[in-house]
Amino acid sequence: MIGLLQRVSSASVVVDDATIGAIGAGLMVLVCAERHDSEQEADALLNKLLAYRVFADEAGKMNRSVTDTGGALLLVPQFTLAADTNSGTRPSFTPAGAPADGKRLFDYFLAQARLRHPQVECGQFGADMQVSLTNDGPVTFWLQTRPKA
């Protein structure tokens, strides 16, 4: 699975002119399931995401996680993160999980996040979403877990 996390001072998701998810300070994370991903990869990504140290400590160093700071999470499904852009000028989405698998794994990831973190908002799988954010820093990291061979 892939998670593109961005440290934000605020972020929101709008679908059909209605805000369906919004947070203040925390992490906005684009989440993508790839082919052959399972709940094991989702758990590994969530573990890393919740512990990833991207917030400043008292000395100004990135030593605090979203768990440490009590920041919010906004999880947004984003299958285009799995695009293969190695040839031509049109991306291939062959590496992405099938829509049904992607939805199942995103829903699982979201449910697990809500069990483990106090403030979790989300986007809508398969919807045409307008995502707004104020990237704090900017700070952006690509996290990826791979199935064990």
Our answer to whether residue 80 is catalytic in this structure is: yes
> Catalytic pick from 6, 40, 55, 79?
79
Q: For residue 97, which of 145, 55, 138 has the smallest C-alpha distance?
A: 145
Residue given tokens 């791979």 in the structure block: 146
Q: Which of 6, 55, 78, 109 is catalytic?
A: 78
Report whether 75 contacts 113 (CB < 8 A). Answer: yes
State yes or no: is 6 an active-site residue: no
Both structure tokens of 146: 């791979």
Confirm whether 93 is a catalytic residue. no
Please identify which of the residues 19, 40, 80, 94 carries the catalytic annotation.
80
Catalytic residue positions, numbered: 78-80
